[in-house]
Structure 1
Amino acid sequence: MEQIKQTLAEVHTELEDNFAEVVEWRRYLHQHPELSFQETETARFIAEKLSSFGYENIQTNIGGYGIVATLAGKAAGPTIALRADFDALPIEDEKETAYRSKTAGVMHACGHDGHTAALLGTAKALIKHKDSLNGKVVLLFQPAEEVPPGGAKAMIEDGALDGVDYVYGAHLNSAAPLGKIGVGKGFKMAAVDKFAITIQGKGGHGAAPHEAVDPIVIGSDIVSALQKIVSRRVNPLESAVVTLGVFQSGQAFNVIPDTARLEGTVRTFNADIRQQVRKQIESIVAGIATGFGATYSIDYLHGYPALYNHPEETALLQRLFAEEFGEEQVIPLETGMGAEDFAYYLQEKPGSFFKVGSRNEDTATHYPHHHPKFDIDEQALLITEKAFTKIVFSLLGS
């Protein structure tokens, strides 16, 4: 045990010494973001860094542009997977910083550049101390987290978790102060589904609505009815969200259009509720549309499942992070209706997903994720690295 503590202390000193390099990687990635399913240069950057560290077992093009690198310790033992995502968002970077995005309309507004830089820093430290490990570490660099069907599912289908015993992931969190780490068991993030409804009516003159089948009126009734699913059809002890984000129809003030298009999202935790809400949406749309003489179509996409942190593995994180950072720094991970495709990994293997606080007193770090001015306190990268290495040496340390 003392030897493990000593080795971990050495590793954390090295992480501190190499911190400026990790920041440099993060800022490079921030300046060169790539959208989901388009991350060719980002994948190349990651693979080249891993190779320069001395990794030989590097698999590329896993589930798209995913990368899997495996580090074998000196002796046999469990296999732990650590994951970072690396896609960006279709948002214009509005920050006034030297490292703002150089790609118009694309930016890292969710911290994925930080996740990748931190896991690269972890990888560099681990390979220097591989003889202190009993077991293997699998580094999962994942594309396309932001857009369903996402990259996690495809990477799993390509064998990214083969032979893995436990999987852990981290996410930067601008809602929590620097130094705080959010840990929590059970369902912590929701399943996300997307639906698109097309209503085919009959166009006409605005002065003669009786001669038309008005898709705007029909769509309005559908919007109103869908909002009653959660309040009147879902058990109040369960959680669900039905939100409409798109309603498009018509181009002129005095013309009744032919069609209307509605798009929305459903968020749930319970798999049965998830199916119930879908059936209710389909039933409501059918009843209202046909009742007013229109036809309709529904395109319903099941996105990521709900993210479930396994109790035993989460309790381990609670203990390890309290040892490393202090009990007062470990805070409850809030349950929210946001979604994460890390949920797919946790459906396959036991593990846990935690969040690392990234805001400080500077208001530049207070913007929410997906905001055009999103930024972080980069010290959060070092905390993420220390958290990852704490997990590895506590489970695999010889």
Structure 2
Amino acid sequence: MKILVLNSGSSSLKYQLFDMPAGTVLCAGLVEKIGETEGNLSFEYGTQTVTVNMPFEDHKVALNKVSELLMNPDYKLIQSSDEIAAVGHRVVHGGEHFTASTLIDESVKAEIKELFSLAPLHNPANLQGIEVAETVFSSAKQYAIFDTAFHTTLPEEAYRFAIPEELYQKYGTRVYGFHGTSHRYVSNKAIDYLGLKNKDSKIITIHLGNGCSISAIKNGKSIDTSMGLGPLSGLIMGTRSGDIDPSVIFYLLEQGYEIEQIKTLLNKQSGMKGLTGDNDLRNINTRAKDGDEAALLALKMYAYRIKKYIGSYMTILGGLDAIVFTAGVGENDAVTRKMCCSNLEHFGIDIDDTLNETRKPGLREIQKGKVKILIIPTDEEYEIARQSYHLTQGNNPN
């Protein structure tokens, strides 16, 4: 069964074609600069890469071009768009309504639109991708896989804010959590690897990319996570501040900042970029090795925040079987992993320097203590394809 996975951004379209249930990636690619005068499309299949430089007026033009490449007889992927049995869409925010992935119909699209205010940068683009895919792949089932769904198992004491009840009832002001597709994928991988399926398990998953989040997962279910109403809170990120005293916002308003300026400052000009002028951890690590004080401080703050969450989550989990590092930084940055695990030996968290610094593909262990420290490459696209496939079979996708 051919399943196409789409991740629609405001000016981009990421895609992968899977043969399910085998999970084989038949092709993958990205369309960038949609709506600009000159766009770029990459199309990878086998060992070959095709690039197309042309203007993509909108997402429909972009997806039609992808469809054209899929049906190109030279690539032998599909002969007709009707061969795409299902399209799985990444949708960032599902609110409280969507606790699992679902078949898309008019009511689902209406609900996604209702949630625009909670994810103004993502849900509009996600919905646009859905509507375009419905026309380009008209015979395919369309499924929505929500980033927030994995975190709908949080207990009320974890997801509520200590603010007036009416703000929750009227506006849905609560913790939703994000990166759920990634946290679900790597935690399931860890549980299978450790032989803890259908057994008690206590795992902390740490997703470190340009956006960062950490989750406490008990018996396969998320019970706490660092991102909240939106993706700004929690860990220090590439350009986002993470946790910050709300008084800072009030103070900046009193100093003459406009609310939109503060939004931009905290979302796009803070985090590692705010501390160092750069949001690339590779560059920051290089500068730190050369004695750059700003880079050294930023790395210490980055790791300190993660360690605070590890300690907190161990408490609510009642112990710990494993820590999982994933995403670009988590999978590839040995320095960050070492700093995050340093001085935690009293918790049974003891990283092995040689294993940590040895680069290998796939899942691997890097600990020498009681608690497993795992590196598990995330694969959100496969997770979306997997859930979409199970929905086509009438199975529970979780």
- Which of structures 1 and 2 has the larger relative contact order (alpha carbons within 8 angstroms, sep 6+)? 1
Same fold at TM > 0.5: no
Q: Which has the larger radius of gyration?
A: 1
Structure with the largest fraction of strand: 1
TM-score (norm 1): 0.25
TM-score (norm 2): 0.25
